[in-house]
């Protein structure tokens, strides 16, 4: 976990706003966030570099991050674990993600999906990125 100097007023999800797969996942999270607990910001928004300089562009490209109100940034599977505790509609998934000793499996699965996200949903929404 990385600690940022910025403490956002709401938990903030940083995601690749040019990736169709990521945009789809964020759309699902927006629907599940019925209480409006989260803010969603594309890593391409200039405010991200200014507000969270502790998170490198490479790290932000590699995985989604959730920055809580205390400035703790959780990436990838740990970010998803955190979200399952914050959004009541995701609580059933929390049971699976929090099985003791299962984090290495969830990290591996997250990295696999993240590496192949452009293949899963096609090219980027604005056509500027490529499959790496």
Q: For the chain, which domains are there?
A: 2-121 (3.40.30)
Tokens 């903030």 found at = 12
Report whether pLDDT(51) > 80: yes
- Give me the chain's average pLDDT, please: 88
Average pLDDT over residues 111-123: 76
Render pLDDT for 52-75 as a digit per residue (tens, 0 to 9): 999 999 999 899 999 999 999 999
- Residue 124: predicted pLDDT: 53
- Residue 132 is predicted with a pLDDT of 39
Q: In what side-by-side order are the strands of the sheet with 38-42?
A: 2-3, 72-75, 65-67, 11-15, 38-42
Distance of CA 38 to the CA centre of its chain: 11
Query: Using 50, 70 and 90 to split pLDDT, how confident is the model at 131?
Result: very low
Q: What is the DSSP letter of 62?
A: H
Question: Residue 118: pLDDT band by 50, 70, 90 thresholds?
Answer: confident
Tell me the whole-structure pTM to 2 decimals: 0.85
């Amino acid at each position: 976990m990385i600690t940022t100097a910025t403490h956002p007023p709401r938990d903030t999800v940083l995601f690749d706003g040019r990736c169709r797969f990521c945009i789809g996942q964020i759309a699902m999270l927006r629907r599940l966030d019925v209480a409006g607990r989260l803010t969603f910001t594309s890593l391409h928004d200039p405010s991200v570099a200014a507000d969270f300089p502790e998170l490198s562009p490479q790290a932000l490209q590699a995985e989604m991050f959730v920055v809580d109100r205390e400035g703790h940034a959780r990436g990838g599977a740990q970010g998803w674990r955190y979200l399952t505790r914050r959004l009541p509609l995701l609580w059933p998934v929390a049971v699976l993600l929090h099985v003791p000793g299962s984090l290495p499996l969830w990290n591996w699965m997250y990295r696999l999906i993240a590496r192949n996200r452009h293949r899963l949903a096609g090219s980027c929404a604005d056509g500027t990125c490529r499959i790496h």
